[in-house]
Amino acid sequence: MNFLPFFIANRLYFKNNKDYIFFLISILSKVGIALSIFTLIISISAINGFKILLNKNVLSSLPHGIIKSIYKPFVSWDKMIKNINCLDNINYSEPYILMNSILLKDTKIKFFNIKSFKNIKYIKKYFSFQKIDNQFKKLNNIKNNQIIISSNISEYLSLKKGDWVDLIILDNNFSFKNKRVKIFSFQIKSIFNSNSIINSNIGLVPFSFFQNNFNIKNNINAIELYMSNPLEAKKTILNIAQKINVPIFLYTWINSYKYIYDDINKTKIIIYITLFLLIIISCFSIISISLLSISKKTKDIAILRSIGANNFLIQLIFLYYGMRFIFVSSFIGIITGTLTVLNYKKITFFLEKFFHHSLLLNNIYYQNFLLLKINISDLINIFIITIIIAILTNWYPAYYASKIDPNKILKKF
């Protein structure tokens, strides 16, 4: 590999640094490119982190799929669930019971939903609890008159673990065994962290409670599914539908929330395009610097020509010369952006400590709903696209330098 064009371009660069105005312009151009790349990395990291938190909070807080009988309840629904659990991509399934209710605590009331569950180990897997202690380890022993509530409800009603609350259930799908409305008393067994709107207004009650108090033995008409790969929910639920010989209604989380993931991808593309346009705009200043340098170095170009330098060598010299600015700026932007992403928690903690309040508005953002995550592929894509932009924007100055006639220049001297 011939390093001669690189060494000559390097020599011309340091020679220009003696011109302080030229040096100042080059510094400002580098700062503009580095700042654009830094912003791009932070923005892409925020989108990646938001997608991860969305997967955690959305896909872990609602069923990945629901199959619902259209005409009549499922016959032998327990056997159906056993068969479904044996299928690929199914972690587990259980009867889907979701009822409207009113929670009463002293003089306060709260409208919210109660949802049944059969297997507590999946609750502990998909939900994040406030305390990991001996009581949490005994969560398997939850009783019919105990309930698990969200931290949002806990804060709203000033509730804590062990408190007793009253519930009025408002649902017409199931009838009470004694044919009259009752107020149920529940003890709060545990509290899970609610980091999204989806799970902020919900209480989890054992399935056995509904068996004991409602006529549901032969009235199960919906089954919820949790999958190992939720993005394949449509394919999985269609596979289940083919094995069930009754008319059913199919629902997946994609029906309601797929648009969020599409919007994330669209936003990521828009950010890429917008910030790369800023990089291109910053690169125009590099073109100006290169053309200004060429106008001042016509004598050097003529000397190079006189000692045998051809058009290709001249083009390489000034291509390297212009790319040096962009390469250094890209390197600075990528390093500072990556270090910021890797240490954003420490930086956020320091800033919050310095300013004495949270940087996020608590009435808009849920706690812990901020995550920065950068992928190696994103860094590689940013670097490669920046280098391509550098080559394209510096091609004209390099081509212009190769077309300078040395005879006209040397005649002036």
Q: Give the confidence band of 366 by pLDDT, cuts at 50, 70, 90.
A: very low
Q: Which of 211, 252, 233 is nearest to 77 (CA)?
A: 211
Q: Which of 39-48, 128-137, 379-388, 403-412 has the lowest mean pLDDT?
A: 128-137
The whole-angstrom separation of Cα 223 and Cα 339 is: 46
Question: Torsion angle of alpha carbons 180, 183, 189, 190, nearest 10°?
Answer: 100
Say how far apart CA 200 and CA 151 lie, in whole Å: 7
pLDDT in tens, 272-304: 787 777 777 777 777 777 777 777 667 777 777
Mean pLDDT of the 258-264 span: 73
For the chain, helix (H) and strand (E) counts, in that order, are 14, 10
Whole-model pTM: value is 0.62
Tokens of 289: 């610097």
What tens digit of pLDDT does each residue of 100-140 get? 888 888 878 888 888 888 877 777 666 666 555 444 455 56
pLDDT at residue 314, as a whole number: 75
Of 84-93, 169-178, 184-193, 238-247, give the lowest mean pLDDT range: 169-178
Q: How confident is the model at residue 2 (pLDDT cuts 50, 70, 90)?
A: low
Distance CA 324, CA 290 (A): 11
H or E segment to which residue 312 belongs: helix 311-342
Mean pLDDT throughout 45-70?
78
Q: What is the pLDDT of residue 16?
A: 56
Long-range contacts of 14-22 (CB under 8 A, 24+ apart): 16/293, 16/296, 22/289, 22/292, 22/293
pLDDT tens digits along 6-40: 666 666 655 555 566 667 777 777 788 888 888 88
Q: How far is Cα of residue 217 from the mean position of the Cα atoms in its chain?
A: 42
